[in-house]
Structure 1
Amino acid sequence: MIISLLASLLAIMGLIAPAATAETMRERQWYLDRMQAESMWKVSTGKGITVAVLDSGVDTSAPELKGKVLEGKNLVEPSKDARTDPDGHGTAISMLIAGNGAGGQGIKGLAPDARILPLTVFGSTKESGTNSVPGLINAIRYAADSDAQIINMSLAFPYYQVNKTELGKLQKAVDYAVSRGKLLLAGSGNDGETSNDITYPAANKGVAGVSAVDSSLTATKFSNHGSFVTLAAPGKDIPIRCIGKAGYCRSWGTSQATAIASGAAALIWAKHPKWNGNQVLRVMMETAGKPTEGKIPSRYIGYGTIRPRYNVLENKGSPGSADTNPLVPAQAGGPSSPSSSQSRSASASPQSGSSESEASEGGDDGASPLLWIMGAVVVVGGGLFLFLRRRRAS
């Protein structure tokens, strides 16, 4: 019996069995209530904001994304349309950002009126998908020149997959995007319990690395941690459309956390359309639920768990200078190259993202890379199946 590629992706993305049918989709999206989304939507829905999703493409046939997806571009295989999605990852991420809820039956995005610019950075074949860093670099520059305000990168490449030349080009692309006023967010990775490698682009100066928290707003063990983590968002027990079959499945990952953080940024930006990415990020950092112990930024949740309602509903947070990225001074001399302590340590215990009183009010995170390893062989029922795993923050 041969397992299909799409079925294999369920395990790669950390997906669990579909949630019980008796539970409504709205109930499964626990983080929306925690963040007081309904109240925020009375003020801001992300209208007027475009989020560039650098991923596997976006399937425009998804009911939740009807009329929301722009033309975009495939930066790895230019002859192919970015509005298709071979494995569903980019589509799932886009739903978490801007899904319309599909009449209450589907995923509701945190910024339901935002638009999605799909930029494909992962190839659909073994040959085109071996190294997607060049595609990522080109996609960042494409997004920087587009009308998109937010660049969502629910992906993570461990330091050993990015050579010195690529790292330099990647940083220059990030610098260019920041100079154009964009806000860049990337998943920290999902290998926190094993290698805990430094990952890019989360570790690039000017990019906000996002780790994941669970429903108790505690940092997840799977999230990569270190000085490259800026914020945390919900990333565990997050419903997404199942891969290779009908229905919706629970999932986990810093990919999901990054998407939810991008949705939060869209709500804030839509309320303050004259701000730029530096200012939106600064407010997100100032209003985040701070760690209850240890230094700030924390290795696990950075400056804290996102709480967009503090700005959307209460106007808290100072935007500060539009010309200064709040991360560049903090990261000066930071993780531009791996060190043994950063890439391998997992010493302290995960920290809570906020105090008990704050936990009732919100903050989420989620996103994590999928490690696609060539040559993995699955043996089931006497059949062999060869599949390719790529680095993705799911």
Structure 2
Amino acid sequence: MRLLLLGVLPTCLAACLVTGAAAAPWPKDGLAESARGRQWPLRAMDVQDAWQLSRGAGVTVAVLDTGVDPRHPDLTGVVDRGPDLTGAADTGSGRHGTAMASLIAGHGHGAGQASGVLGVAPEARILSVRVVLENDDPERADAQVHARTRLAVARGIRYAVDHGAQVINMSLGGGEGSYEGSPEEEDAVRYALTKSVVLIASAGNDGAGANRRNFPAGYPGVMAVGAVDERLRRAPFSNRHAYLSVVAPGTGIVSADGPGSYLVADGTSSAAAFVAGVAALVRSRYPALSALEVRQAIQRGAHRPPAGQSAAYGHGIANARGALLAAEGLHRVPLAAVPRHAHFRVHDDDSRRLIGIALLVLVAVMVARVAVTR
């Protein structure tokens, strides 16, 4: 995540994202009120229209990240703290993870919840699993800690699956060793897919440079998410690859930060979190859909660019309302999927009627046979 405006010092996900954007002033007074007014992605993705159909209730989204602070006023009561798989000292509040969680399930605070950040799925729950360290964490230089964290993402995926997560967000990747991926991570991804868990990851932030293949976004079955700006054009830093699934807002994104504070940032991290929120909306309204069908709904409901599917935009710009409408179509059972014997199932009233008709036919046949015999 590329930080632009903050109330505190910049930080970034240890394993993932391009930094270096310059800080700009943002008035410290009334931050919570200002945050709500600057949430342009909710309008761009038709989220308020989608809330007429779903708000994410009953769905748990696992946030594999630097940890989530359950004390932030926009996340109180919705965060379940899972294990810290990094083996490092517990900081108590992962800023990057808290930011991502707020974009997924932030519920605001204050009178009428009118202040703070609203996530795409404000009635969803968050399962926090710490798998990476913040960029400014001094323990990143500890060789023993680094060795322990190499398998943290793979272990985090399995933990989330086994503890009820229906969606897993991984706004991470792109750090040392992550471009190559690992067999353990790929196995964990396959395990999650067999359990019909939706996997979402940021596409990466070096699209203006090396544009490297990024993991876990590059694994088959993972929804790789790129970023667009407020004019819905591809952000220059957003990675471009054939496996890109969709794009979502990723510039000038307001999110929760440290205790009671907020920041504005750029990055595909935020874009992935928004899509994870859309997945939660779909899973909440249509719980019977498989992970593949949820992915199809998000892709089919996206606003397609004029040039069609591409390495820059994937299937298009993710849209919450569009995804739910597409999911409705997938929810209907196609005729080919109905068992043949199902056409012969009848209700009790129909059964009695058919039996009566059969008896009348039988009597008529017997009378006719008697007449012929005579």
Which TM-score applies when normalising by structure 2? Answer: 0.75
The match for 1:196 among 197, 207, 211 is 211
The match for 1:138 among 155, 172, 178 is 155
**Structure 1 counterpart of 2:248, which letter?**
A
Whole-angstrom distance in 2 between the partners of 1:112 and 1:61: 16
**1:156-214 Cα deviation digits (max 9, x unpaired):** 136x71487x6222111100000011000000111111111111000011111000011
Pairing of 1:228-267 with structure 2 (within 5 A) = 228-242=243-257, 247-267=261-281
Do residues 76 (structure 1) and 93 (structure 2) align? no
**Structure 2 counterpart of 1:17, which letter?**
A
The match for 1:95 among 95, 98, 102 is 102
Match of 2:222 in 1: 207
Please state how far the C-alpha of 1:307 moved relative to its aligned partner: 1.2
Match of 1:269 in 2: 283
Please state how far the C-alpha of 1:316 moved relative to its aligned partner: 5.3
The secondary structure found in structure 1 opposite 2:74 is helix
Q: Who wins on radius of gyration, i.e. which is larger? A: 2
Pairing of 1:365-376 with structure 2 (within 5 A) = none
Match of 1:157 in 2: 174
CA contact (8 A) 1:57 1:85 kept: yes
Aligned residues: 308
Whole-angstrom distance in 1 between the partners of 2:54 and 2:24: 33
Do residues 17 (structure 1) and 24 (structure 2) align? yes
CA contact (8 A) 1:280 1:319 kept: no
Whole-angstrom distance in 1 between the partners of 2:150 and 2:331: 32
Please state how far the C-alpha of 1:223 moved relative to its aligned partner: 0.6
**Structure 2 counterpart of 1:9, which letter?**
T
Match of 2:341 in 1: none
Q: Judging changes above 3 Å, is the alpha-carbon distance between structure 1 residues 13 and 85 closer, same or farther for their aligned structure 2 residues? A: farther
Whole-angstrom distance in 1 between the partners of 2:67 and 2:199: 18
Do residues 309 (structure 1) and 321 (structure 2) align? yes
**Structure 1 counterpart of 2:98, which letter?**
T
**1:305-346 Cα deviation digits (max 9, x unpaired):** 11120243676553699xxxxxxxxxxxxxxxxxxxxxxxxx
Q: 5+ residue gaps in structure 2?
A: 1-7, 13-17, 334-374
Q: Judging changes above 3 Å, is the alpha-carbon distance between structure 1 residues 181 and 13 closer, same or farther for their aligned structure 2 residues? A: farther
RMSD over equivalenced CA pairs, Å = 2.7
The secondary structure found in structure 1 opposite 2:116 is coil
Q: Judging changes above 3 Å, is the alpha-carbon distance between structure 1 residues 277 and 142 closer, same or farther for their aligned structure 2 residues? A: same
**Structure 1 counterpart of 2:11, which letter?**
L
Whole-angstrom distance in 1 between the partners of 2:56 and 2:242: 30
Q: Judging changes above 3 Å, is the alpha-carbon distance between structure 1 residues 8 and 65 closer, same or farther for their aligned structure 2 residues? A: closer
Q: Which has the higher contact order (CA 8 A, sep 6+)?
A: 1
The secondary structure found in structure 1 opposite 2:189 is helix
**Structure 2 counterpart of 1:7, which letter?**
L
More helix by share: 2
Q: 5+ residue gaps in structure 1?
A: 1-5, 322-394
CA contact (8 A) 1:15 1:249 kept: no
Whole-angstrom distance in 2 between the partners of 1:253 and 1:142: 26
Identity %: 34
Whole-angstrom distance in 2 between the partners of 1:133 and 1:320: 43
Q: Judging changes above 3 Å, is the alpha-carbon distance between structure 1 residues 315 and 200 closer, same or farther for their aligned structure 2 residues? A: closer
Pairing of 1:1-394 with structure 2 (within 5 A) = 7-9=9-11, 12=19, 14=21, 16-17=23-24, 19=26, 24-77=34-87, 80=90, 84-86=92-94, 88-103=95-110, 104-123=114-133, 125-126=139-140, 127=142, 130=146, 132-157=149-174, 161-162=177-178, 167-242=182-257, 247-293=261-307, 296=309, 298-312=310-324, 317-318=329-330
Match of 1:384 in 2: none
Match of 1:342 in 2: none
Q: Judging changes above 3 Å, is the alpha-carbon distance between structure 1 residues 276 and 316 closer, same or farther for their aligned structure 2 residues? A: closer
CA contact (8 A) 2:211 2:240 kept: yes
Whole-angstrom distance in 2 between the partners of 1:208 and 1:129: 29
Q: Judging changes above 3 Å, is the alpha-carbon distance between structure 1 residues 248 and 8 closer, same or farther for their aligned structure 2 residues? A: closer
Match of 2:5 in 1: none
**Structure 2 counterpart of 1:31, which letter?**
P
Whole-angstrom distance in 2 between the partners of 1:316 and 1:232: 22
Whole-angstrom distance in 2 between the partners of 1:162 and 1:250: 26
